[in-house]
Amino acid sequence: MKKPVPAPTRRQFLKTTTGAAAGATAMAMNASSYARVIGANERISVAQIGCGNRGFGAHMPGIGKHATDQNIEITAVCDVWTEYRERAVEKVKEDYGRAPRAFTAYKEVLVLDDVDAVMIATCDFQHARMLEDTANAKKDCYCEKPLSMDVEALRSSVDAVKKNGVVCQMGTQRRSYPTFRGCRETYRSGILGDVSRIEIFSNGSKPNWYKRLVRKPLAASEVDWPQFLMHLPERPFSDQQFAGWFGYRDYCSGSIGQFMSHYSDLINFLTGTTYPESAVAAGGTFVWDDEHKFDCRDQVQVTLTYPEGFMFTYLTNFGNAAGRRTMIYGNNGIMDINDKKPFLSGEGAFEKGKIPLEPEAIAPVECPDHFLDWLQCLRTRGQPVAPIEAGHEHSIACIMADRAMQTGQRQIYDRAKDQIRPG
């Protein structure tokens, strides 16, 4: 079996992301972080920034079910859209017995002295800067993926988390699925032999950005548009861009940021790899070219090569939902890494008999759910299962893939310089 390239140590990672001052940063992080240990009887005050489908539908109930045993309370909510903000206020009042403070500007949340931790569930282009500001406010954070759409903002957010010693959990929650914990143990046993290729085909009949268009049109008075745009150039309010931001490149890299980020992170988690060496990609809009003029592609195909000696191919077909695939290929057989019933099989093996031909279920390994893992780490100051390093890693893969697709040029990652370049 090929010898895996060892993952960088924490000190090595700091050197590649923060330069000469990294060692001092690491020590400052430890001292700062452990100085903030929260007592078991002390209530943790949490703010929810972004109260849409992910914030309202996953974050709030995700920590809510642990509210009593972890002694936490949502005390502030923030959203640029009046309807979502008010909906969140009512839900918090129902769940915790009192209304939270409500804001449209996220920086107003960060100056609240009594807020200990923040959950970010906003648009992709906002994540990195919001996380950087949150860390600089010395508040712990749970931040959705992808962490960043550009290397500079990515580097700044990582540095801020490390400098301030905050606990940060990335929203790549597949790391906390018992099924994938089982897949990880099975993969690392070496049973697959030499792994040559991993394939993820994430197909759908229609792009996910259309689903939010099916609602009543919004008036400009219902949205704090400047707060939505943040650092982007000023432009007139667009209800369509606000509703369907998933499909516009200013706000999102489409299926690469929305879906490939999950899978590139999962590959890192399962195999122990960290960064791809190179990326090539192609894509286009071949089906959903209509009056909405979305500029994220409905067809995307990415191939990443890794130093361990395998290729990872990610494909989205938003024209037909058939052909979904989640497969790892080794010379002893295959592992299907679907999140419901993953299995091993000797199908296609060069050396027959090392894995039975008949599919064999992979046993799950129980673990805390992703939100509980984060909440527990807020008290212990331990490292969560998807730490800031994981955010840096999956973002580099996504940025490489997106650049390769946009330019038509192969992209190379220089780990020592933390730079992506054509090559």
CATH class, 176-365+399-422 region: alpha beta
Binned at pLDDT 50, 70 and 90, residue 351 comes out as confident
What are the residue boundaries of the structural domains of the chain, listed by start?
A: 10-173+371-388, 176-365+399-422
Strand order in the sheet with 195-201: 360-361, 343-345, 333-336, 325-330, 195-201, 310-317, 299-306, 278-284, 411-414, 419-422
Among candidate residues 316, 314, 310, the one with its CA nearest the CA of residue 329 = 310
pLDDT above 70 for 13: no
Task: Identify whether the C-beta of residue 101 lies closer than 8 Å to the C-beta of residue 88.
Answer: no
pLDDT of residue 39: 64
Characterize 388-419 residue by residue with b for buried, 16 or more Cβ atoms within 10 angstroms of its Cβ, and e for exposed.
bbbbbbbbbbbbbbbbbbeeeebbbbebeebe
pTM: 0.91
- Check pLDDT > 90 for residue 41: no
Higher-confidence residue of 5 and 308: namely 308
Mean pLDDT of 55-80: 98
Higher pLDDT, 41 or 79: 79
Q: Under CATH, to which class is 10-173+371-388 assigned?
A: alpha beta
Tell me, what's the pLDDT at 28? 40
Q: At what angle do helices 22-34 and 10-18 cross, to 10 degrees?
A: 120
Counting residues of the chain whose pLDDT is more than 90, the rounded percentage is 88
Average pLDDT, the chain: 92
**Which residue type does 310 have?**
F
- Which two structure tokens, joined as six digits, stand for 103? 């804001």
| Alpha-carbon distances, residue 198 vs 66, 101, 326 (angstroms) | 36, 46, 8
pLDDT average, residue stretch 150-167: 98
Segment 353-386, tens digit of pLDDT: 999 999 999 999 999 999 999 999 999 999 999 9
pLDDT at 6 over 60: no
Report the pLDDT value the prediction gives residue 29, as an integer from 0 to 100: 43
Identify which has the larger pLDDT, 22 or 103: 103
Average pLDDT over residues 132-158: 98
Q: What is the pLDDT of residue 26?
A: 41
For range 151-155, the mean pLDDT: 98
The yes-or-no verdict on residue 25 having pLDDT over 60 is: no
Nearest of 250, 256, 211 to residue 395 by alpha carbon:
256
CA 203 to chain centre: 19
